[in-house]
Structure 1
Amino acid sequence: MTLYSYTALQDRKKEIKGEIDATTEREAVQNLRGQGLFVTNIRTGSQPTDLDIREQIKLVLPANWLPPKKVHYIQMYRQLSLMLMSGHTLLESLELCGTLAPRRRMMIILQEIRSDIQRGLSFAQAMEKFPKAFEPQVFELVRSAEASGELDSVLSRLANDLERMADMKKKLTTAMIYPVFVLSGTVALLILMAVWVLPKMSVFIDNLGSDIPASTANMMAVSAFIVDYGTELAAGSAITIFLLLASYTTLPGKRFFDRIFLSLPMAKSAITTSTMAQTGWTLSMLTASGVTIIDAMKICERITSNETLKNSFDRSASSILEGSSLSAALEQPFFPELFYKMAAVGEQSGELDRVMNEIGTYYNGELEANLQRMLAFITPLLTLLMGGPVAFVYLSIFQLIFAAATGGR
């Protein structure tokens, strides 16, 4: 027997939490359903004793009016799966998910989907009216699940796979925070010393009455330049950053920069491994749900952010339409050899969904290893590149103090 902690609605109004012993999660849900409880969340283990930090923030911030996040939709898929698994109709499940929605916009979307289903649309058709709210693969998965009658299990797997992809993207973001933080801090320190510390030393230098070291003179010249032209430098930097960001929002600009990213060794490794992990999991999920390989490849193209890799997926889909096998179609630039070799194994064994899931997990592990190697390389590099200018400033100051103490000798 396994201990499960749950959150449920009693009489569809009062939220209660508790624990139950059961052999499987489905059995736990059915037992709670027999007690007249409407299960909205269930997991293994006991109930936490303290409020999660996110729950504490929700108590003090008016987060209900903020746009829904991806994690909220993942939560919603889990809740729908649990409610359908416990025997509730789709309309009942959507109604209750709407009342539990952590964001007002999400509640409105679920209400409109429910109304469209009542008017005769399918669940997938109703969801397609909100392309910005749902992931591209969701529509095909739901359409296939409605046809097969396995909506509860497909939604559960969808939530798991989207959660894995979100965790993977979070790792990439976290890996970039450290170098950006160190770079920004160092630049801010250098600017502070140039516009505040060094000008205060100018009077002392003028009264020194002896020659100052060359390094100090150079440093003071740079400081004077920054002080005199600080406004122009700041404006020029801001305009340059704005133009770069604006160009990246255009398709030609994004293609140009994405190609550059793939020419940088460390960036290429991170981008390709994360894309292969995402593609493996997505292909596994879609093919296991009965989606055709052509539609699956088109979805992979749509969810890929790098324009160069998008083109590779587009060529793969075109090759399949012309009669190529999946493994042959995946032999594209920037696609690792292991990826299309494993696709061939999946095709030959008839277990493409299982093999693609394994390859996604493999590349997720490779991504973690690559990020660790990247951080191990970047840390000393940043120390040299960012610490060098700071060391030069301190060295110039100490040389000045030494020159003053020795009378310039």
Structure 2
Amino acid sequence: MHTKVRPLFPVAALGATLLVTACGGGGGGEAQGTVRMALTDAPACGYDHVYVTVEKVRLHKSDEAAESEGGWEEIVLATPKRLDLLELTNGTLEELGQTEVPSGSYRQVRLVLAENQAGAPLANAVQPTGGALVPLRTPSAQQSGLKLKTRIDVEPAGLADLVLDFDACRSVVKAGNSGAYNLKPVLSLAQRVQTGIQGYVSTTMTLGSTLVSAQQNGVVVRSSAPDATGRFVLPFLGAGNYDVVITSAGRATAVLTSVPVSTATTTLNGTATAFLPPTSAMRQVSGTARTGTVTPTTVTTADVRATQPLTGGPVIQVAATPVDATDGTYRFDLPAAAPVKASYTLGGTPVFAADVPVAGKYTVQASAPGFTTGVTQAADVSTANAVVDLQFGP
């Protein structure tokens, strides 16, 4: 049975081992556990719709197992399901089903999509904002599945209650001026744990461009777009402290530091005290990823992010994007104004102050498969746009 569940919460970022606790029982022969899987999406940028058609989820105890090897366990949908990933944000899950599996440690998960074909040419498709719906090219996704290396420990008679997070913003990649888009999947996986952070941003902001994220050490653990009321939910967060970062077109970045998460969801505010960062001019950082100096060639598989080190910490991520799949170019629109920062206080109203020394100053970081060393360069947009080309390797 295939069921949509509303409202629940998006998935935590891939990280530690997913340990599944026992829930009683046990039987003869090989011990069995149960895996239940749902799908969600981090916010997408610049798209009205991102469709994928899911056929099944596969699991294997080896992270190197090929699709043709034995030992795969599967959750097969009775009928392939075409989903709009952009409907699975800010607290919505799509149930994919469950199956019994031999207990043990599983190291590989694959999400298998249906194929775009004559009868269903838009089974997997994307609609850029203001544009037409076009096929989404998904090389090898139909045959072998979108691969995720992980670790899931299923105990005898245990339930692995898991969520796959399909990050559409980072997974859909423009291919030059061809009008085509490629799928470069970015997936993560976690248990459903009812802990996290929630609050409100002002509805006077451009909500369609607003992103709220929970970060640790400049790494996004969870992100969400607010709904029409300004409410955002950053769920499935493990115990610890997080920096909540708010970005939006035409606004300075707002940062609430050291927000605690323990055994319940931390509520930051209500509608009467909704967060409203100050206005800011937006300036562009753009460039091309290349390798080689004598005969440079473009790197079309790189991922780029813009971070900002705040005075006295923390470092935050302000934006991230894959480079163009054809020409290796990228572009960020970043605030020129100083970010505003406040410390979390239980029961108190945050008092944000401008971090003037770092206004418009960013660090551009890039990584790409096949290159052991990434690229890090400074970018200053305090007074003008900046061009930052990224040179990989010699």
Pairwise same-fold verdict (TM > 0.5) = no
User: Which bin holds the TM-score, normalised by the shorter protein?
Assistant: under 0.3
Q: TM-score w.r.t. structure 2 length?
A: 0.26
Q: TM-score w.r.t. structure 1 length?
A: 0.26
Higher relative CO (CA 8 A, sep ≥ 6), structure 1 or 2?
2
Rg: which structure is higher?
1
| Larger relative helix fraction | 1
